[in-house]
Amino acid sequence: MAELLQFVITGLSVGMVYSLIALGFVLVWKSSSVANLALGQIVLISSWFTYSMLAQAELPVYIAFPLVVLFAMFLGWVIERFALRPLIAQPILSLIAVTLGIGYFIEGVITFIWPWSVDALPRLFPREVIHIGPAVISQEYVWVIVICLVVFVLLTVFFRYHKMGIAMRATADDQMAVQACGIPVTRVFSTSWMFACCVAAIGGILISSIGGITHGLVETGLKAFSVVILGGLDSFAGAIIAGPIIGLAESLGGGYLTPYIWAGVKDIIPFVIIIIVMCIKPYGLFGEERIERI
């Protein structure tokens, strides 16, 4: 029983990490239906920037974090303004390929500035763990869960009530009509990219405080894709629920199946689930079903 509880708690907390990154992905998809393949690199570069602020410049946390957020917003603005805006109204696959190029570029910048390529953030959270019955959870994960939920609530409220949020939703629905209504589509795009990079940066800080800053963050960013798909590409709620589902599947599946199958089964369980879900619900658990016309 203690084992089960530990598996559940681990699964939920790890899943929240995926959710957090997935939110950044959904943000961009929701307003411009671009799949951001550079997400992992954005996570990585924000982590390195945080490292520079905290460990190299030795700024206190309350100054460093706003700077990181500013940096991430700037990054998002630059990406949108210089790489994606020239491609408005071009085939969507070209836009996706551009994010691929951006990913390589950012990777180069990282090698350029931080060539030693592995390091650790100063410890942000106390090392003592929190006991829940017989199970334990480390404080980093508690923070991940709290921050993830806060970001989710903020985004939901923003998209529901704020003028810009409504404009974003409208843009996702029909770009032409929105343009005709006088909504500045370009500004909508750049705002969504700025937000997406912010969320990715927050995710980056939290993950790198858990496992250090390495190139592995890029692939963790990619793993968020599977979460997004499971939840539905355009749903925040989907991302926030699918994350823990994936985490749970990994943790429970790994926990109980590993003795019977080859080791490392936990790494592919999410993907098996994805294929099954795709066959049953092609638009994810919460994705918007599109009614097609000929």
Partner 1 sequence: MSLPCGTRNYNYAEDMGIVRTKTHWVLLIAFLVILFTAPLYFGNYWLGVFNLIGITLIAAIGLNILVGYCGQLSIGHAGFIAVGAYTAAILTNRLEMPFLVGLIGAGVVSGLIGIIFGLPSVRVKGFYLAITTIAAQFIIIWVINHWSLTGGFVGIKVPYASIGGLVFRSESSQFYLIIIIAALCVFFAKNLARTKVGRAFIAIRDNDLAAEVMGVNLLYYKLLAFFIGCFFAGIAGALLAHWIGFLNAEQFSFTESILYVGMIIIGGLGTSIGPIFGVIFIRILQQLLTMELVPFLESTFTNFPAGFATGVTPMLFGLVIVLFLILEPRGLAHRWALFKSAYRLWPFSY
Partner 2 sequence: MNNKRLVIAIIICLALMVAALPLLSACGEPDTEGKTLKIGITTPTTGPAAEKGAPMGHGNLDCIKYVNEELGGVNGYQVEVVWLDNGYDAAKVATIVKRFMNEGCLLYSTSSSAMMAASMEIANRAGFPGIAAFSSPILYRPPQHIYGQMPDYGDDFLVFAEYYMDNIWKGTGKPKMAMHLLANTTGYGARDAATAFAEELGIEIIATEEHSKTTTSEMESLTRVKALNPDVLYISSTPAPTALIVKNAYELGMFPGITIGSGHAGFTKALIDIAGADITEGVYGVFPTVNWGDDVDGMAKMTEYINEYHPNDAGNMDYITTWAQSLIMVEILRVALDNAGYDALAAGDAASWKALEEQGIQKLKNYDVDGLHGPVSYTPGDNRLSKSVRVFQVQGGEITPLTDWIDAPMVAYEDFEWFGN
| Residue ranges binding partner 1 (CB under 8 A) | 35, 37, 83, 86-87, 90-91, 93-94, 96-98, 100-116, 219, 222, 225-226, 229, 233, 262-264, 267-268, 271-272, 274-275, 278-279, 282-284, 287, 292-294
For partner 2, give the closer residue by CB, 267 or 289. Answer: 267
CA distance 94 to 99: 9
Q: What angle do CA 130, 133, 139 make, to 5 degrees?
A: 15
Number of CB atoms found within 10 A of residue 237's CB? 14
Question: CB of 107: closest distance to partner 1 in angstroms?
Answer: 5
Q: Judged by CB under 8 A, does residue 200 bind partner 2?
A: no
Give which of partner 1, partner 2, none residue 283 binds (C-beta under 5 to 8 Å, depending on kind).
partner 1
Which residue blocks in 123-264 are alpha helix, DSSP H?
Answer: 139-161, 163-173, 175-180, 185-211, 216-231, 236-257
Distance from the Cα of residue 274 to its chain's centroid: 17
Question: In this structure, which amino acid lies at residue 4?
Answer: L
Give which of partner 1, partner 2, none residue 215 binds (C-beta under 5 to 8 Å, depending on kind).
partner 2
Give which of partner 1, partner 2, none residue 1 binds (C-beta under 5 to 8 Å, depending on kind).
none
Decide: 147 and 202 in contact? Cβ < 8 Å: yes
For partner 2, give the closer residue by CB, 6 or 235. Answer: 6
> Which positions ≥6 away from 274 have C-beta within 8 Å?
226, 229, 230
Distances (CA, A) of 218 to 45, 163, 186: 10, 33, 28
- Plot region of 288 (φ>0 → left; ψ -120 to 50 → alpha; else → beta): beta
CA distance 100 to 263: 32
Among 19, 36, 41, 251, binds partner 2 (CB under 8 A): 251
Q: Which two tokens stand for residue 264?
A: 């490392």
Q: What is the DSSP letter of 56?
A: I
Q: Which two tokens stand for residue 292?
A: 């097609």
Give which of partner 2, partner 1, none residue 32 binds (C-beta under 5 to 8 Å, depending on kind).
none
Give which of partner 1, partner 2, none residue 101 binds (C-beta under 5 to 8 Å, depending on kind).
partner 1
Contact pattern for partner 2 over residues 94 through 123, marking x by CB under 8 A: -------------xx--x---xxxxxx--x
Within positions 209 to 238, which residues make up the interface with partner 2, using CB under 8 A?
Answer: 210-212, 214-220, 223
> For binding to partner 2 (CB under 8 A), which residues are involved?
3, 6-7, 10-11, 13-14, 17, 107-108, 111, 115-120, 123, 127, 129, 136, 138, 141, 207, 210-212, 214-220, 223, 250-251, 254-255, 258-259, 263-264, 266-267
